[in-house]
A and B are shown apart, each in its own frame.
Chain A
Amino acid sequence: MSPDGRFGGSATGKILAIGTGVTMLIAIYMMFLYAPQDTMQGPVQRVFYLHLPLAWIAYLAFFIVFVASIAYLIKRNRRWDQLARSSAEVGLVFTTLVIITGSIWGRPIWGTFWEWDARLTTTLILWFIYLGYFMVRAYVSDQERAMRYAAVVGIIGFIDVPIIHMSVRWWRTLHPEPIVTQSGGPAMPDSMLYTLGVSLVAFTLFFGYLVYQKLLIEQAKDQVADHNLAVADREADEAREHSAKGATA
């Protein structure tokens, strides 16, 4: 929280908030009005401009969790854990949205909300892994130990993702092949690509803003917890002194 007590009151918070607001408005305009209608898929194709940035940024979020978890286990500085848990929470929300937007697209195009294809299955498993990440935190009473355990899950979980993906892909696959990163350039008109680019920038800023706010909240939470602990200690000391005085008198 900023010194004047308002969330987002700092310069970083303001820049991220304004940047997100402006780019998100442009992105929404472009994805609904500027980008051409897909001749094959119709209007439902536009969910792609939400789906793909969400998916990329969910991976980015878990990568940040991975790096922050390693840093926490080495440095033992609580700030790294605060970053990891902030990023993990936004990542979990984005992963949920990836699955929902994908289902919205899948229903008219594939004729079903869900397919057990490699990317979908990997994403679902990813979701479960980070759910476990938060369950570990919730079920460990000792804060410092919760941070260590969560860091272990954050590291193992991220390294597992490519292996899970490979194993499920060998199992079977149905998801459209990557069309943005394929060799020989993206297979879509420039206007669609620009829309995607702006959407990606908007969601990256949005992600930065959310993580930044979450980080402030987590820092405040830890400060409150420290304060409560100190007060409880002091009260216990005073009570002990009091009873000791009572005994001598």
Chain B
Amino acid sequence: MRNLDKILAIVWKDLLTEVRSRELVVGMLVFAMLTIVTFNFAFDLTGIERAPSGAGALWVAFIFASLLGLGRAVAMERDKGSFDGLLLVPVDRGMIYLGKLLGNVIFISAVQLVTIPVFGALFDLPVYQPMLFLILFLGTLGIAGLGTLFSIMAASTRAREVMLPVLLFPLALPVVISTVRATTLVLTDRTEALMQWINLLAAFDVIFLTISFLVFDRVVED
């Protein structure tokens, strides 16, 4: 339980910072909403085919918002020098990774919880389904899992705003494909092939959370 306390302490610190500064979630939320509204002009989101296009638009919005939030979260830590402080704390580096990951998952999920009802209302799609929330959770975990690692790496490169998407987009492609497909299947009520995608998502999450957890120590040393 000691480890869990350490992780929760890091999460608590990030939540408290966010509640006081309100720099992350509001920005991510507005950005996600604007992306969906803009996609309305790119695709036809009113016809019968709106479920596949809508699912794509929704996930592109979430991924863009996540990139924004992940980059911003690290930038804030760096500006205040608090990440160096965090690294000096005598806890296992893996716990720091899990703490930061959990914080990022909470922030992205908060954005999703507000965006989903708006999305459902704007495009008249049945979004209140337990399966959809499972997909959202697994997808968020996958993106945040790699994203937490890469955002910290990107922060100490010269082109930090560029490096995060360049690293995260190709490597998180399985998450994009499987969440978009699974979301489409849920929205159109075709559940026969759904488990295949959910399993792929879960496998991706397990593999990349494990690797990120293992290599995090090597990324942040110094």
Q: Are A136 and B163 in contact (CB under 8 A)?
A: yes
Report B195-221 residues with CB < 8 Å from chain A CB.
196-197, 200, 203-204, 207-208, 211-212, 215, 218-219, 221
A127-150 CB contacts (< 8 Å) to partner B:
128-129, 131-132, 135-136, 139-141, 145, 148-149
* C-alpha spacing A163/B170, complex, angstroms: 12
Instruction: Assess the B158–A148 pair: CB atoms within 8 A.
Output: no
How many angstroms from the CA of A103 to the CA of B24 in the assembled complex? 44
Q: Which single member of B197, B200, B219 contacts A148 (CB below 8 Å)?
A: B219
Given contacts A132-B170, A168-B177, contact A145 B156 (CB under 8 A): yes
B153 near A136: Cβ-Cβ < 8 Å = yes
Contact across chains for A167 and B178 when beta carbons are under 8 A apart:
yes
A140 to chain B, nearest CB (A): 5
Query: With A152-B149, A156-B146 as given contacts, are A73 and B218 in contact (CB-CB < 8 Å)?
Result: yes
Q: Is there a chain B Cβ closer than 8 Å to A91's Cβ?
A: no
Q: Who on chain A is nearest to B216 by CB? A: A152
Complex partner residue of B163 from A139, A155, A166, CB under 8 angstroms:
A139
Contact with A along B31-62 (1 / 0, CB 8 A): 00000000000000000000000000000000
On chain B, the residues within 8 Å of A208 by CB distance are: none
Instruction: Give CA–CA (A136, B165) in the complex, Å.
Output: 12
Q: Does A210 contact B (CB under 8 A)?
A: no
A140 touching B171, Cβ below 8 Å: no
Counting contact residues on chain B (CB < 8 A from A), the size range is 20 to 34
Judge whether A192 is part of the interface by a CB distance below 8 angstroms: no
Q: How many residues of A contact B (CB 8 A)?
A: 29
Contact A136 B167 (CB under 8 A): yes
* A129 vs B218: C-alpha distance when bound (angstroms): 20
A156-B174 in contact (CB<8A): no
Contact of A160 with B171 in the complex, beta carbons under 8 Å: yes
**A-side interface mostly:** helix
Find chain A residues with CB under 8 A from B162 CB: 135, 139
Main secondary structure of the interface of B (DSSP, over half): helix
With CB as the reference atom, state the residue of chain B lying closest to A157: B171
Looking at A163, A166, A170, the one whose CB has the most chain B CB atoms below 10 A away is: A163
Q: Contact check, A170 vs B196: say whether CB atoms are below 8 A apart.
A: yes
A16 at the interface (CB under 8 A from B): no
| Pair A163/B174 contact, Cβ less than 8 Å | yes
Q: Name A116-132 residues within 8 Å CB distance of B.
A: 125, 128-129, 131-132
Q: A135-B163, A140-B157, A141-B158 are in contact. Are A167 and B174 (CB under 8 A)?
A: yes
Q: Are A155 and B211 interface neighbours, CB within 8 A?
A: yes
B222 on the interface (CB 8 Å rule)?
yes
With both beta carbons as reference points, the residue of chain B lying nearest to A130 in the complex is identified as B170
When distances are taken between beta carbons in the complex, the residues of chain B under 8 Å from A125 are 170, 173
Determine if B88 is an interface residue (Cβ-Cβ < 8 Å): no
Asked if A129 contacts B219 (CB within 8 A), the reply is no
The reply on A159 being an interface residue by CB < 8 A is yes
In angstroms, how far is the closest chain B Cβ from the Cβ of A129? 5
User: Distance in Å from the Cβ of A78 to the closest Cβ of chain B?
Assistant: 15
Contacts of A58 in B (CB 8 A): none
- Distance in angstroms between the alpha carbons of A73 and B217 in the assembled complex: 10
Cα A163 to Cα B166 with chains together (Å): 18
In the complex, which residues of chain B have a beta carbon less than 8 angstroms from the beta carbon of A160? 171, 173-174, 208
How many Å from the CB of A67 to the closest CB on chain B? 15
Task: List 7 contacting pairs A-B, 8 Å CB cutoff, sorted by A.
Answer: A129-B170, A139-B162, A148-B221, A152-B215, A164-B173, A167-B200, A170-B200
Task: Name the 7 nearest CB pairs between A and B, nearest first.
Answer: A139-B157, A167-B174, A128-B170, A167-B177, A139-B158, A163-B174, A129-B170
